[in-house]
């Protein structure tokens, strides 16, 4: 298989409810997660939902990172996909985990390629 990248898909459970509904804080978390992984942010976008919940995404030079939150369940779904042999999504994952104060995490890591 020709490896072109790595993807981390994570379920963050029992997170801080206030952070999960704070669009400003979640954008900051994405920016800092990108820095933690030594990646390059091209564009940052976000959408706040009513009555609660936020989706934040970062388009990276290396691919993408996104967080979808469900404050009512203390839950966040996180997806980090990075391209290249040396690119590693794990530092970004660890940073997001710490900042969301997740008490439980389920993670799936995939090598992407053909």
| Catalytic residue list | 63, 68, 83
34-41 contacts at long range (C-beta below 8 A, 24 or more positions apart): 34/58, 34/60, 34/65, 34/92, 36/91, 36/92, 36/94, 36/95, 37/80, 37/82, 37/87, 37/88, 37/89, 37/90, 37/91, 37/92, 37/95, 38/91, 39/65, 39/82, 39/87, 39/92
């Amino acid at each position: 298989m020709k490896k072109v990248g790595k993807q981390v898909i994570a379920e963050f459970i029992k997170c801080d409810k206030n952070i999960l509904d704070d669009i400003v804080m979640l954008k900051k978390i994405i920016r800092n997660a990108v820095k933690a992984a030594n990646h390059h942010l091209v564009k940052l976008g976000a959408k706040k939902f009513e009555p609660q919940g936020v989706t934040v995404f970062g388009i990276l030079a290396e691919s993408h990172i996104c967080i979808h939150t469900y404050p009512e369940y203390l839950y966040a779904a996180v997806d980090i996909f990075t391209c290249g042999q040396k690119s590693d999504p794990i530092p970004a994952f660890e940073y997001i985990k710490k900042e969301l104060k997740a008490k439980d995490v389920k993670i799936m890591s995939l090598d992407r390629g053909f």
